[in-house]
Structure 1
Amino acid sequence: MIIQPVASLNGTLPIPGDKSISHRSIMFGSIAEGETRIYNFLMGDDCLSTIRCFRQLGVDIEIGPESIVVKGKGLYGLTPANEILDCGNSGTTTRLLAGILAGQPFTSTLTGDASIQKRPMNRIMIPLQEMHAKISGQEERFCPLTLTPSTLTGIHYNSPVSSAQVKSSILLAGLYADSPVTVCEPSISRDHTERMLQAFGVHIEQEGKCVTLHPGNKLSGREVIVPGDISSAAFFMVAGLIVPNSKLTLKNVGINPTRRGLLDALIQMGGRITCVNERELCGEAVCDMIVESSTLKGITIGGDIIPTMIDEIPAFAVASLFAEGTTIIQDAKELRVKESNRIDAMTDELTKMGAHVTAKEDGLIIEGGHPLQGASFESYHDHRIAMSLAVAALMASSPSEIANSECVRISYPHFFEDLKDLAMYE
């Protein structure tokens, strides 16, 4: 993909459905009783992997032009797959599905692509094994994962990482446990699982950084309207701030308190982003965002804000290139075990442009204000790396090329088309 420098960005853009919520709507609808109808579902590769896996487990899922209908089988209605469940590139599918399968009366095996087979699964295997789940993997930490029937018990788990995938895997296994499960985190990670399980009828309690699920409740099918994904909006939030003479309206963006860290960080940098038409959609906070070109200043971020913007940090790193002074990102070691090692990937690729970026074990140090030239980028087959580099390339002195850019299909299939529609060239 060739990215040309632009003079400005202007227009209105509806943001694609939230990937995290789209995954969960299929999963929870599948184990609910009755029909679940989903609107604004994200038809990205990751979410399609979730649909494929649950179809293999016997769930009837109809994809229509306006909505997706999931005909739930109930907590104990899934049936054994005829072959290994392929989760593709989706860590959410792999880890959350493992939680559900831990409580099933049949054996299942989960795998994924080359990236998934390198991502750490022991972070869910350890707590699931504490619940007496029989789960094994390659070298006791990698896919393929095999789960065999077992009787699950409730636990109180102090997670060493703030991860919605870890928390959700445990809570979903807890649906099949003989007593409550409690998960406590160092910082609160995104809470879509808790919100949606409650909407489907499950008894959930939140106290501080701990969440408790009480088993014994059936899930009941319902209508789900998926808000726009702030992780997808992130690239246009940053682009609208750094490209001169720009004004963008981003429609229907989810601003869940556990997901809005990028918005807060960009505003702290001096970014002119205004939320209008704030409302609630199926228990999730939503707004329309007006983004205008801004003069940014470097800041330091770390601690509790990091889990609320972990997927948006590559985009935030691009904003930091155009901020006055130095930006420091810390406490973000989790970036090293995403679809790629995002700390090293962003450092290596942005340096090709002439950016001053230093990798740390847990983050980045970025000196803003240095002129950028076009470059030949590698995406590392990581959708968020590819889209972040595309945004940086908008402000280079010459065109850039991104190899393997088709990976954006994972979360934002029409990203490059949307970017082109908003661009004005010199």
Structure 2
Amino acid sequence: MEFVLNPDRERMELALVMALLVNGRTVFEDFSFAAGVEPFAEVLKEFGLNYTQQGHQLVLEGKGFQYALPSMLPIDLGESRCVMLWTLASKDVEQIYTFAAENDETGIAQVARAKELLQKYFKVKPVDDEPAKFTFTFAPEEVAIKKDSLGNVATIMRNRLLLRTLIRGEYLSFEEKGSVHDQWTKMLMYFGVNVKYESRGMEQLTELERRMMIARGQKVERSLFTEISETQVITGRDYYIPGDATEAMAFVLLTTIAGIPKNTEVCLKNVDLNSSRAGALTCLKRMGGNFETVSRRERFGDVYGDIMVYPLASGKRLQGRRFSEDTMATGIEEFPFLAVAACFAEGETILRIPKELRKEMRSTNEALAENLRKTGAEVGVYDDGLVIRGLETIVNGSDFDGGEVPQNGLALSVLSIALENDEPVANSELVESTYPGVLQKLKQLLEQATAKPETEAS
């Protein structure tokens, strides 16, 4: 069986921003819009980006660094999207910009949230401040660069800093400890921006020095150094947005836990394999997942490829593992899939969340744990994340509810399909709108894998 996934949303959004900054034409190959990205693309039109879909290509015309500056800025596209768009606008510190919404309770709350988010990432000078309307200019000064508990700059701030430095023709350098979400960095490098991005630390030691440090119990630390300097012009190139790693995780998990025939082979085409985006696949591999990359392509500045997935060998089970904050940072969107996998694993699995995300994820983890306990597995929620003790056989479990988190809903849908429940997971419409068609494809996988040959059936 072979499946093509929806394209990765985050990479597509970043590529659209990149296409605006290109002085001329960019072509996205084998293109289709990821769910929910078109409104973001439409806002980029206000900055001057033009694009047309021609067959399987999206042909884009960028404005370079002379893009337009709309005075009304979006406030309802989500944090990462808004921050990138506001960063584009922040190049001009004299123009007056406006946040506005309907002058009712909803609109007032919307503007208040946008102002709070704005002040988190930017220094601004208010011009007029009304309940449902806020006008301001961007200040020339920048907020201080803060690093998280892992020694990294948080992804949204990191992308913003690189974009801000690029459009202003300035210089910036910083060092991080690892597990950096680097899709934007590699995209900048591919399009010819003057970016240096390299690992430092381990390569400066000889093999003997490394062994001696390990023998003494010293940690051999590695750091990542990023440096960006002035780039005069960015020229257009062909680009490709590979398949969504979250959807890939759903197919791998279903093939692993559903008890389908051992001769089944599932091929996932052109999956995003960026190590900072697909870390959860590595985690599942450590738990004993049976899959491999059969076609790896290092093109367009990053890596993607085909994944072949097989059921577990007869008598084999997933094994519980302990995953650190550093490891989980490379697959945080797929956190609920690893939690589902842990319900089937032998022993104890610990999933630790990076410190900065613990408060934000606590309520969604409580809801996830409540659902997973319906299988009979032991699931504990604590400040750092989840502790799960799995079962050898899970035959029960239904009435799951994905709530308002589409990743939770998709992971629980995989569990529900594996248990052959008739009723869909509650709030599955959010899953469908976020990952169009994926639930039908997952059901198709199970149906085809378990269908008896016609001669046997007769």
Normalising by structure 1, report the TM-score. Answer: 0.83
1:202 corresponds in structure 2 to: 193
Give the structure 1 partner of residue 350 of structure 2. 328
1:221-236 map, 5 Å:
221-236=236-251
Of residues 221, 227, 251 in structure 2, which corresponds to 1:212?
A: 227
CA distance in 1, matches of 2:298, 2:110: 34
- Gapped regions of structure 2 (runs ≥ 5): 199-222, 452-458
- State the match for 1:7 in structure 2: none
Query: Secondary structure of 2:400's match?
Result: strand
* CA distance in structure 1 between the partners assigned to 2:136 and 2:255 by the alignment: 46
Separation of aligned partners in 2, 1:400 and 1:31:
47
CA RMSD of aligned residues (A): 3.4
Tell whether the 8 Å contact from 1:227 to 1:284 is kept in structure 2 after alignment.
no
2:21 to 25, 28, 31: 31
Q: 1:239 maps to what in 2?
A: 254
After superposition, the Cα gap between the structure-2 partners of 1:296 and 1:42, relative to the gap in structure 1 and judged at 3 Å, is: farther
The answer to whether residue 75 in structure 2 is matched with residue 53 in structure 1 is no
Q: How does 1:242-391 map to 2 (within 5 A)?
A: 242-244=257-259, 245=261, 246-294=264-312, 295-333=317-355, 335=357, 341-369=363-391, 371=394, 373-391=396-414
Q: 1:107-164, CA deviations, whole angstroms, 9 ceiling, x for partnerless residues?
A: 44569999998989978845543xxx6589x9xxxx99976244366x8834226432
- Distance, in Å, in 2 between the alignment partners of 1:377 and 1:108 is 45
Q: How much does 1:336 deviate?
A: 5.0
Q: Aligned partners of 2:361 and 2:126: how far apart in 1?
A: 23
Unaligned runs of 5+ in 1: 1-10
Structure 2 vs 1, CA of residues 279 and 86 (structure 1 numbering), >3 Å: closer, same or farther? Answer: same
Determine the structure 2 residue equivalent to 1:8.
Answer: none
Q: Is residue 339–residue 382 contact of structure 1 (8 Å, CA) maintained in 2?
A: no
Asked whether the 8 Å contact 2:255–2:309 carries over to 1, the reply is yes
Equivalent residue pairs, number: 405
Evaluate the alpha carbon distance shift between residue 30 and residue 273 of structure 1 in structure 2; reply closer, same or farther with a 3 A threshold.
same
More helix by share: 2
Is 1:180 the equivalent of 2:198?
no
Q: How does 1:407-418 map to 2 (within 5 A)?
A: 407-409=430-432, 411-418=434-441
TM-score, length basis structure 2: 0.78
Larger strand fraction of residues: 1
Query: Partners of 1:355 and 1:215 in 2: how far apart?
Result: 55
Compared with structure 1, are the counterparts of its residues 94 and 338 closer, same or farther at alpha carbon in structure 2 (3 Å cutoff)?
farther
Q: Quote the Cα distance in structure 1 between the aligned partners of 2:92 and 2:360.
A: 28
Within a 5 Å distance, the mapping from 1:61-72 to structure 2 comes to: 61-72=51-62
Q: For residue 344 of structure 1, report the CA deviation from its aligned partner.
A: 2.5
Deviates more, 1:358-367 or 1:100-109: 100-109
What secondary structure does 1:62 align onto?
A: strand
Indicate the structure (1 or 2) with the bigger Cα radius of gyration.
Answer: 2
In the TM superposition, residue 104 of structure 1 has moved relative to its aligned partner by: 3.5
**CA deviation profile, 1:241-297 (whole Å, cap 9, x unmatched):** 111125311111121122232122111111111111112121211221111122201
Shift of 1:365: 0.7
Amino acid at match of 2:2: T
Q: CA deviation at 1:186?
A: 4.9
Partner of 1:5: none
Aligned partner of 1:420 among 443, 447, 450: 443
**Aligned pair in 2 of structure 1 residues 355, 287: CA closer, same or farther (>3 Å)?**
same
CA distance in 2, matches of 1:261, 1:348: 25
- Percent identity of equivalent pairs: 24
Do the aligned partners of residues 65 and 147 (structure 1) sit closer, same or farther apart at CA in structure 2, a change above 3 Å counting? farther
Compute the displacement of 1:203 (Å).
Answer: 0.9
Following TM superposition, by how much is the alpha carbon of 1:368 offset from its aligned partner in structure 2, in angstroms? 0.7
In structure 1, C-alpha distance between the alignment counterparts of 2:322 and 2:354, rounded to whole Å: 12
Q: Which residue of 2 aligns with 1:4?
A: none
Bigger relative CO (Cα 8 Å, ≥ 6 apart):
1
The 2-side partners of 1:322 and 1:23 are apart by: 35
